Structures are given as C-alpha cells and as structure tokens.
Amino acid sequence: MDLSVRIGPGTLPNPVGVASGTFGYGSEYEKLIDLSIIGALYTKAVTPEVRPGNATPRIIETPAGMLNSIGLANNGLAGFRAAKIPYLRTLPCPAVVNVAGAKGDDYAKVIEELAAEDCIWGWEVNLSCPNVKTGGLALGTDPTEVEQLTARLRKLTSKPLIIKLTPNVTDITAIARAAEAGGADAVSCINTLVGMVIDTKALRPVLPGKTGGLSGPAILPVGLAAVYRVARAVRIPVVGLGGISEADHAVQYLLAGAHAVQIGTANFIDPTVHQKVLDGIRAFAALHNLKSIPEFHQFID
Amino acid sequence: MAHIVTSVLENRPVAQDYYELRLAWPSWAPAPQPGQFLTVRTVDGPVPLLRRPFAFSGFDRADSAASIIYQRRGHATTLMTAKRPFDPFDILAPMGNGFPDPGSGRRPILIAGGIGMGPMMFLAERLAQSPYPGILIIGARSGQYLPRVVLSRSVQTILCTDDGSAGRKGSAIDIAREEIRQDGCAPELYLCGPHGMLAAGHALAEELDVPAWVAMEQTMGCAVGACMGCVVRVHGGEEYARVCMEGPVFDSRTIVWT
C-alpha cells in the first residue's frame, strides 16, 4: 500500500495530518506523540503582526463538540522566524505553515518573507477564520476575491499552496473552483462552523465575541458532505477535516473523495489517535486490496 | 508530562459535592508537585468531549498513589463520581508549574476556598516536612462543604465558614489577615480557590507588601500549550499567559485583576 499523497509539486508521506490551531508548532506535543508518523503538521496561523488574541473565555464545550474564539493569537512573522523556524527545521514530518491576515497584503507578506525557508513544505491559506473581524472568513466567502488572492499568492511561491475553505457559505464548491482557477494545488475543508452558546443564568453569550467556531465530532457529517461535493467540483486534491476522532471517520473522508485528512480537536483528547487512524487506513486498504489513496475514490459516485 | 493510562484506587465523598479520587501512580511516571494538575478523559466517547483538568491533592511515591479532589458540578464530574476501584483512568500528567518554595525567613500562609482545598492540602503536607511549615486556612460557604480529610498532625489547619456553621466565622482571607497580625511573621501567601478570593488575596499581599502565589483557573482545550485557549490577562509585553504552560501558579502581581 502506497500511503503517499501528491499535492502539486510536493509529496506527503501519508494522508494523516494535524490541523492548524490544534497542534501549536509541534513542540507542544513532542513528549506525547511520535511526530514522525504525522503526514503533515499544519502550524498555528501566522500573521504579519503579533496578535494577542481574543478576550476570555475562549473555549466552551458543546454537545459532542467545542466552540472556540482564540482570535489567531500568535507572535507574528518576526516571532515565528525567531522562535519557531529553528524548531521546524528539526521536525521529522512535513510542516505546512498556515497563513492568515486581515487583508491580501498580509497573506502575501507572510509567504514572501518565509518563501526561502527550506523547512516549510507548503502553505495553507486560512481564508476562513470565523473569529477575526476582517480578513479570514470575510475574504473567503467571495469567489472573485478568493481567485484573485490565490493567483497573487501563486506568483510568490513554488511550494504546494492549499486554500482552506469555510463551510459558512451557501455553496462551498464555488469557492473551491475559485481557488482552483487561481492556481491552488489543493483545497482543505472544512474550517469551523459559526456557532453560539448562551449562558441562561448570566443572560449573555458565553464567548465575549458572542459567536465562535464549532469543531469536534459534531461537525463530522458537515465536513464529509462538503468534501464529497468539493471533490466532485474540482480536479485538484481535497484535504478533508472536521470531526475526525477515529480511523473510520478518516476512511469516510477518503471514500468521499479526500486525498488526505487532518485531525483537529481530537488531538486534545487522544494522543494515540494518529497511530490509530493510520493503522485503520492501512487495514481498510488491505481489506479492499487498495494500492494507493486515489483508489479509495472508486466506491462512491 | 506523559500520557498515563492508570486505574482508580478509591473514589469517596469528602464533603457535600466534593470527592477525593486516588489513582495508582506508575513508577515510571514523573512525580507531581503541589500546584501541578492532570487532565482526565472521563469517557471513551464524544460526550463530554474535552479532558477535564484537576489539581493534584496529594502524592505518595511509597504508596504508588496520587490523588485529586473534585467537585461534582456538571456532566463530566457527575460521571466521575461513578468511578470505582480498578476502573481505568486515562490522564495527561503532571502538567503546569507547581508552587515555589517560600522566600528565606517567610512563613507560608496557605489559603484555600472550595475546590482550591486539594492543592493547598498537598502543599501544606509538603511544607510540614520542610524547614518552613505554614498555616493552612480552608474556607467554605458552610460546614457541609468543609473536607473530611485527615491531614498530618504537623499541618496547622484552620477551618472557617462564611455562615459560622463550622470552624471560625469569616472568609479565609479575613482569617488569614488575623493570623498574620497575631503571628507577627513575614508571610508569603499561597492561594487556590474562586477568582474573587484570589483577587482579595492579591489585595492583601499588596497591603502587606508580601509575595503571593495564585493558582489560576480557565477553561482548557489541549492543556499542553498548543491551542491558546486557557489564557489569563497579564501585565508586561505579552498580553496573555497560558494557564497550562506559564501557570497555573502565577506571582499575583503579574495578573491583571478585574
């Protein structure tokens, strides 16, 4: 079984990655998890400037899920270069830098300034963060803007360029096609769903920003349907995420048309989930005599 | 920090809504220190989803046992009350930074409110064996919430309640203030409990111009420093600090008290 995954000019050793925002920059988990088994480590979002993040509380549990409003907290481009790049050079797995910002110039700046770093395998462009006032979600819901920004970033890098899509739109396939037209090597979906929790004793929303991003097992069917539709709308690979907490969930994403997957919220809960998912994908492939990841796509029309 | 799949030794009520859970501690696992915490996966399923953090209330290498004291408050902690001896207990531990030793010549005053009793009892036991034993003050709303836990004879303990139904009448902070005045010592404060009590403890420390260490609480996602969820506002260059990594124990002067 060949587990490798081709995305544009790059190859990932296996299809099981860890999602941006749930795994820091890798060092946070090195005592708990063998990082060499990870197919791709999508870093916490990097923005040009330092972002302290949103007011607290930032997290609240929901039925089979969690709502977050972190606000892209990160140390900015300079902080990333100084504190994180040296560590990424030592990573035993491919590092995909998640890029975020408030406007197109921000995304361009991050990619331009980090373009020469050999330790960066590729980029995941976060056009879908629901927790910042401008950029992110706002940029990611207009197909014209998505195509233009993707084309602009495409010119800045020869590394794999993955556009991360939001589910908070009427038709996610329109955004995916725009990313493809702009020259993206792949799309990843889904980012979190906009959600809300109200404290009925205090008579106010629990999160100071009122709404946040929903993740966890609750969103698995939503992510799966999005990947199923997007995989049929574009020719570039689709990276599926949303609610994966066991091998069967990841296999469902691959069957739906994904070439790779990301584990997100489950990183917080089960340090053995990556190995289990990888083992489960291998076992499924052996059972059905599949030789490569694209062969997973033959079953469902 | 390690992923430890161990088992429950004992799980018993110690006050109304409060339980002490003892768990087997493998010999290879690092020793927890007072102030450090574990996160437990309460079920093997999606509800409740996230691991729940609890401060250690004791550790005994000779007995191969560690303990936590938890309050039955929601779904996850209600499920925990059903844990029986030999049930598996899936934890990440020990997490975060523990309490530092007191400064030279300082008398440790340990102030616990509600669920803060666990780590303060752990710290009091440790300090009782050190050159600088302290006073442990445990406050509760009412007598039924005070713990029925046997501490070493060498731990000087004062119990107090808001309604005077058990122990001395008054808040733990008020009792601490009285004790410090009578003792005439140069104190160093250690606090764990509700946010309001920690803020009052910080104000007392400022008034006396003495150091205070507070164990902060915040809803956690990963508890390993990755998700940036469990932050508190701090003074200085960085606007926020992570409770799981920079804390949970902070010098009270670094916290932005609101």
Dihedral sign computed on CA atoms, order A267, A272, A276, A279: positive
pLDDT above 80 (res B40): yes
User: For B144-165, what is each residue's pLDDT tens digit?
Assistant: 999 988 888 888 999 999 999 9
Per-residue pLDDT averaged across A291-299, rounded? 98
Query: What is the spatial distance between Cα A42 and Cα B82, in angstroms, rounded to a whole number?
Result: 39
Please identify which residue in the block is written with the tokens 């200085």.
B236
CATH class of A5-298: alpha beta
CB atoms B227 and A270 under 8 Å: no
Query: Is A189 noted as a catalytic residue in this protein?
Result: no
pLDDT of residue B152: 85
What is the pLDDT confidence band of residue A129, given thresholds at 50, 70 and 90? Answer: low
Q: Would you call A70 an interface residue with chain B, using a CB distance cutoff of 8 Å? A: yes
Mean pLDDT of the residues in chain B: 96
- For residue B163, the tally of other CB atoms under 10 A from its CB is 10
pLDDT of residue A130: 62
Nearest to A166 by CA among A132, A127, A195, A209: A127
pLDDT of residue B236: 84
CB atoms B51 and A269 under 8 Å: yes
User: For B176-234, what is each residue's pLDDT tens digit?
Assistant: 999 999 988 899 999 999 999 999 999 999 999 999 999 999 999 999 999 999 999 99
Per-residue pLDDT averaged across B7-31, rounded? 97
Name the CATH topology of B2-95: Elongation Factor Tu (Ef-tu); domain 3 (2.40.30)
pLDDT above 60 (res B140): yes
Which residues in chain A touch residue B2, judged by CB atoms under 8 angstroms apart?
A: 31-32
pLDDT of residue B153: 85
Query: What is the spatial distance between Cα A211 and Cα B127, in angstroms, rounded to a whole number?
Result: 45
Which of B47, B219, B239 is closest, CB to CB, to A64? B47
Query: What is the spatial distance between Cα A6 and Cα B59, in angstroms, rounded to a whole number?
Result: 50
Nearest to A93 by CA among A265, A223, A266, A263: A263
- The C-alpha of A162 sits at a distance from chain B's nearest C-alpha, in angstroms, of 22
N-term to C-term CA, chain A: 23
Cβ atoms of A244 and A262 within 8 Å: the answer is yes
CATH of B107-215, one of 1.10.760.10, 3.40.50.80, 3.20.20.140, 3.40.50.20: 3.40.50.80
User: For A209-264, what is each residue's pLDDT tens digit?
Assistant: 999 999 999 999 999 999 999 999 999 999 999 999 999 999 999 999 999 999 99
pLDDT above 80 (res A133): no
The size of chain B, in residues, is: 258
User: For A59-106, what is each residue's pLDDT tens digit?
Assistant: 999 999 999 999 999 999 999 999 999 999 999 999 999 999 988 999
Query: What is the spatial distance between Cα A96 and Cα A39, in angstroms, rounded to a whole number?
Result: 10
pLDDT of residue B237: 76
Is the peptide bond preceding residue A130 cis, with omega within 30 degrees of 0? no
CB atoms B222 and A268 under 8 Å: yes
CB atoms B227 and A60 under 8 Å: no
